[in-house]
Amino acid sequence: MSHIGIGSHHFDFGGDCGVAFFFILSGFVLSLRYSKELSSACFSPREFITKRLRNYYLLHLLTLVGALVIYGLGKRAFCKIICNLLLLQSWIPIPDFFFYGNSVAWFLSTITFLYIIFAFMFKFISVAKPIWLLLILAVYLFVAFLIPKTYAIGLIYIHPISRAFDFGLGIIIWRIYSIYSAFSLRSWQGSMVEFALITLYVLLYLVYPYCPLTYKLSSVFWVPHILLILYFSSQQHFDTPLGKLLRTPFLQYMGNHTLEIFLTHQLCIYVVTRGLVHIGYDDYYVLKLCLSVILTTLAVAVYGKASCQLVRLIKKYCCPVKKINFSTPKCEFFKYVL
C-alpha cells in the first residue's frame, strides 16, 4: 500500500515494520538451524552462501533486466549495474545507487553481507556477556541518533552495517530461546498474549508518526518483534485465532513466495500505474491495488514454473543443504513467515 501512491504516510509503518522483522527473524531462524553445526565446527561457509545465492540471484538478475527495460539506463549506468550485479549497491549511501534498477534489490545486497558474516556474529553473540551486547546496542542507538536525516535512509535503513544490528538481535533472541524454549502456554493464555501483542503493535502504529526518523529506521520495532518471535517460537500448538489464521492457504502461499513477491511487486506496481495513467484511471487506487496484486501473483507463478528446470540443473552441481525441519511443533509458525 505504501507504494500505490495514495499520498498518505500511514502505510509507511507496515513497510518499515516488515523489513525490520525479516532481518531480525533471519538471524533467529539461521541460528536455530545452524547452531549445532557452528558449535561442532561442521559448518561450511561456502555451502551456506551457495545455498542462499541459489535462492535469489537468478530472480535478482531477471528483475534487474526488467527494471532496465522499464525505467531505462539513466546516468552512470555502467557503475550502477556493476554494483547491482555484485550486490554491492547498499554500501553506497546514495539513492541513485542503492535504489537503482529494481529498487528493492538493496535488500539482497544487505542480506548477502549478513549471510557472509553470520558465522562470526553467531560465535561472538553466543558467548558474549549480556552486558557487552547491551552496551554495543546502546552505542549503535547513540550513533544512529547523531546521523542527519538527509543520510538516515542510506546509512540506517539500507546500509549492511546498520542492519547487522537487527540481524544480531535475532541471534540474541535465539540465545534467549535456547534457555527458555520449554516454556509454553495454554490456548486461552496464548490468545491473551496475542491480543496483547496486537495491542502493542496498534499503539506503536499510533505513536510511529511522532518518533524521530532515526529511531523509526533503527530500533522502534525491536521490543514488539522480540516478543512476537519469542512467543511463536516457544509454543507447541496454535489453536488460537491467530494461529488458525496463519494456517489458511492464502497465507501459506504468501509465506512460501515471500521473496519472489518482494522482488517483483514494485515493478508490477509501476507497470500497472503507467497503464492506468495512459487510459486516465490513475486515481482509482483500489483498481490499481487489485491489478498490482494480480500482476505480481502472475509474475511469481510464471517465474516459479520457468525456474523449475533450471533449479534441477543447479542441484546437480551444488551440494544439498539441509533445511529447517518445520514439522517440529515449535518451528511451525516460521513455515508461514519465510
Q: How far apart are the first and last CA of the chain?
A: 21
**Residue 3 placed within a domain:** no
**Residue 6 placed within a domain:** no
Q: How many domains does the chain have?
A: 1
Residues 184 and 235: beta-carbon distance below 8 Å: yes
**Residue 183 placed within a domain:** yes
CA distance 38 to 24: 19
CA distance 285 to 80: 32
Question: What would the pLDDT profile of 171-227 be if each residue is shown by its tens digit?
Answer: 999 999 988 766 667 777 778 888 999 999 999 999 888 888 888 888 899 999 999
**Residue 1 placed within a domain:** no
The closest alpha carbon to 26, from 48, 11, 41, 7, belongs to 48
Q: What is the largest CA-CA distance in the chain?
A: 62
**Residue 153 placed within a domain:** yes
Higher pLDDT, 286 or 198: 198
**Residue 193 placed within a domain:** yes
Predicted TM-score of the model (pTM): 0.84
- What cell was used for 335? 513455515
Report in angstroms the alpha-carbon separations of 80 from 100, 102, 121, 196.
7, 11, 29, 45
Average pLDDT value for residue range 111-116: 96
> Could you tell me the residue range of the domain that residue 216 belongs to?
12-336
**Residue 114 placed within a domain:** yes
Instruction: Give the alpha-carbon dihedral of 288, 292, 295, 296, to 10 degrees.
Output: 180
**Residue 221 placed within a domain:** yes
User: What is the average pLDDT score of the chain?
Assistant: 83
Q: In the chain, pLDDT over 70 holds for what percent of residues? A: 84
